[in-house]
Amino acid sequence: MRRMRVSRIAVPVFALTLLSGAAWPQPASSAATPNPTPPNPTPYPSMAPVQQYLMPDQAAEIALARSAGPESIARDAEVLVLREHGYETAVHGSNGFVCLVERGWTAPLDNPDSWNPRLRGPLCLNAAAARTYLPITLMKTKLVLEGKSPAAMAHAIGSALDTRQLPPLEPGAMCYMLSKQQYLGDSGKNWHPHVMFFVAQGAAKDSDWGANLDGSPIIASDDAQDRLIVFMIPVRNWSDHTPDSPAAH
């Protein structure tokens, strides 16, 4: 696994299950540069028509979802695909894993890429994450497709967590994000192959994992809306066995 510094860096939206945080090193900008260009206004201020988020070719979406994990895992996993009213099971699995392609609204809804219809975040969840993280994605997606406002969505998610309609995260909940075809943001594209661990807020601290420290390969980010911490670990290879190349990003 490559070593990395975590200062002065930005992770594309899906790289942290659509959370913002720190990631692979990028060159620092020059302090002497005069009149720096101001940030662009949000290019995706609202949701696009639903059809722009769908993949009309179900076989292509199944293949993309499976590309998130090692073939030895993904071939026996359940596969979900997105339809106009939410996710549906396209392939029944036998090993407890669930693979799907998340869209940008999995991120906090104030993220500038939340409504980007190009985003595709393939991931393969283990059984613990399928039971306790996946329900958050399914609920968010249902609310989005019902046309709920961001404020209404945040209230619904919070209430569901308070009442345990959304279950608490199980220990060991994790997923693979190894797809070379992932599109994690207009700036990050496919970023890097990585695995992610989902931990309930309060159940661990960054320091417990040695995350976000110089030389540590582990990146951590809090998601206050979903009340979880994501611990993300970049790995060497994509699911097709080709090596990752930091210089290519």
Counting beta carbons within 10 angstroms of the beta carbon of residue 70, is it exposed (0 to 12), middle (13 to 18) or buried (19 or more)?
A: middle
Rounded to whole angstroms, the Cα distance separating 143 from 47 reads: 12
Residue 29 falls within a domain, yes or no?
A: no
180 vs 12, 94, 147, CA distance in Å?
15, 25, 31
Residue 249 falls within a domain, yes or no?
A: no
Residue 48 tokens, joined: 């696009």
pLDDT, average across residues 109-120: 89
Residue 111 has a pLDDT of 82
Rounded to whole angstroms, the Cα distance separating 90 from 85 reads: 14
Give the number of domains in the chain: 1
Residue 64 falls within a domain, yes or no?
A: yes
The string of pLDDT tens digits covering residues 33-46 is 444 444 556 789 99
The C-alpha angle 224, 15, 130, rounded to 5 degrees, equals 70
Q: Flag whether pLDDT at 21 surpasses 60.
A: no
Residue 234 has a pLDDT of 96
The mean pLDDT of the chain is 85
The string of pLDDT tens digits covering residues 119-134 is 999 999 999 999 999 9
Rounded to whole angstroms, the Cα distance separating 133 from 145 reads: 19
- Comparing CA positions, the residue from 100, 103, 84 lying closest to residue 147 is 84
Residue 108 vs residue 31, higher pLDDT: 108
Rounded to whole angstroms, the Cα distance separating 214 from 139 reads: 36
The boundaries of the domain holding residue 216 are 13-19+48-238
Residue 41 has a pLDDT of 65
Residue 36 falls within a domain, yes or no?
A: no
Q: Flag whether pLDDT at 221 surpasses 80.
A: yes
Torsion, Cα 117 121 127 129, to 10 degrees, reads -80
Residue 8 falls within a domain, yes or no?
A: no
pLDDT, average across residues 150-154: 92
Q: Flag whether pLDDT at 156 surpasses 70.
A: yes
User: Helices 150-162 & 134-145, crossing angle to 10 degrees?
Assistant: 140
Confidence of residue 247 (pLDDT cuts 50, 70, 90): low
Residue 40 falls within a domain, yes or no?
A: no
Residue 24 tokens, joined: 């692979």
Please, where are the H alpha helices in the chain? 58-66, 71-74, 127-132, 134-145, 150-162, 206-209
Rounded to whole angstroms, the Cα distance separating 142 from 140 reads: 5
Q: Are 63 and 55 in contact (CB under 8 A)?
A: no
Which position has the token pair 């611990």?
231
Residue 71 falls within a domain, yes or no?
A: yes
Confidence of residue 187 (pLDDT cuts 50, 70, 90): confident
Confidence of residue 23 (pLDDT cuts 50, 70, 90): very low
Confidence of residue 25 (pLDDT cuts 50, 70, 90): very low
Residue 219 tokens, joined: 């990146």
Residue 153 falls within a domain, yes or no?
A: yes
Q: 3-state SS string over 32-101?
A: CCCCCCCCCCCCCCCCCCHHHHCCCCHHHHHHHHHCCCCHHHHCCCEEEEEECCEEEEEECCCCCCEEEE
Confidence of residue 7 (pLDDT cuts 50, 70, 90): very low
Residue 245 vs residue 38, higher pLDDT: 245
Please give the single-letter amino acid code of residue 7: S
